[in-house]
Amino acid sequence: MSTLEKTDLQLGYIPLLDCVAILWAKHQGYFEQQGLNVELVKEASWASLRDRLAFGFLDAAHCLSAMLPAAALGEDQLGIPLQTPLVLSTNRAFISLSQQLCYQLNISSADRPAQSAAKIFAAIHSGQTIHLAHVFKHSIHHFCLREWLALANEAAAKALTLRTVPPPFMVESLNNGIIDGFCVGEPWNTQGEIMGISQIIAQSSDIIPTVADKVLAVTSRWAAQHPNTLKALCTAIQKAQQELKNLEDYSQVWGLLQHYEIIRFECSEQIHVHKYASIQNIIRHFIEDDGTPKTEDMQWIFTQMQKWLGLKSEANFEELCKQCIV
d(CA 168, CA 275): 19
Q: Are residues 233 and 313 in the same domain?
A: yes
Q: Are residues 172 and 254 in the same domain?
A: no
In a domain, 69, yes or no: yes
In a domain, 1, yes or no: no
| 319 band by pLDDT with thresholds 50, 70 and 90 | confident
CATH number of the domain bearing residue 241: 3.40.190.10
Alpha carbon 255 to its chain centroid, in Å, reads 21
Per-residue pLDDT of 288-315, as tens digits, reads 888 999 999 999 999 999 999 998 877 7
In a domain, 72, yes or no: yes
Q: What is the mean pLDDT of residues 77-86?
A: 94
Q: Are residues 139 and 242 in the same domain?
A: no
Q: Are residues 45 and 101 in the same domain?
A: no
User: 116: buried, middle or exposed (CB in 10 Å: 19+, 13-18, 0-12)?
Assistant: buried
Q: Are residues 196 and 254 in the same domain?
A: no
Q: Where a domain ends, among 149, 184, 206?
A: 206
Please name the helix (run of DSSP H) or strand (run of DSSP E) that holds residue 200, with its range, or none: strand 198-203
Q: Where a domain ends, among 173, 189, 206?
A: 206
| 149 band by pLDDT with thresholds 50, 70 and 90 | very high
d(CA 94, CA 185): 6
Q: Where a domain ends, among 189, 206, 223?
A: 206
Number of domains in the chain: 2
d(CA 162, CA 100): 19
Q: Are residues 120 and 166 in the same domain?
A: yes
216 lies in which domain range? 8-91+211-323
Q: Are residues 132 and 278 in the same domain?
A: no
Per-residue pLDDT of 188-239, as tens digits, reads 999 999 999 999 999 999 999 999 999 999 999 999 999 999 999 999 999 9
In a domain, 3, yes or no: no
Q: Are residues 45 and 131 in the same domain?
A: no
Q: Are residues 177 and 240 in the same domain?
A: no
In a domain, 144, yes or no: yes
In a domain, 2, yes or no: no
Biggest CA-to-CA distance, the chain? 66
In a domain, 253, yes or no: yes
Per-residue pLDDT of 246-265, as tens digits, reads 998 999 999 999 999 999 99
Residue 1: is its pLDDT beyond 70? no
In a domain, 248, yes or no: yes
Reported as half-sphere exposure (CB side, CA atoms, 13 A), residue 275 has a value of 21
| 317 band by pLDDT with thresholds 50, 70 and 90 | confident
Q: Are residues 104 and 138 in the same domain?
A: yes
Q: Are residues 284 and 311 in the same domain?
A: yes
Per-residue pLDDT of 124-148, as tens digits, reads 999 999 999 999 999 999 999 999 9
Q: Are residues 154 and 227 in the same domain?
A: no
> Could you give the 3-state DSSP secondary structure of residue 153?
coil
Give this prediction's pTM: 0.95
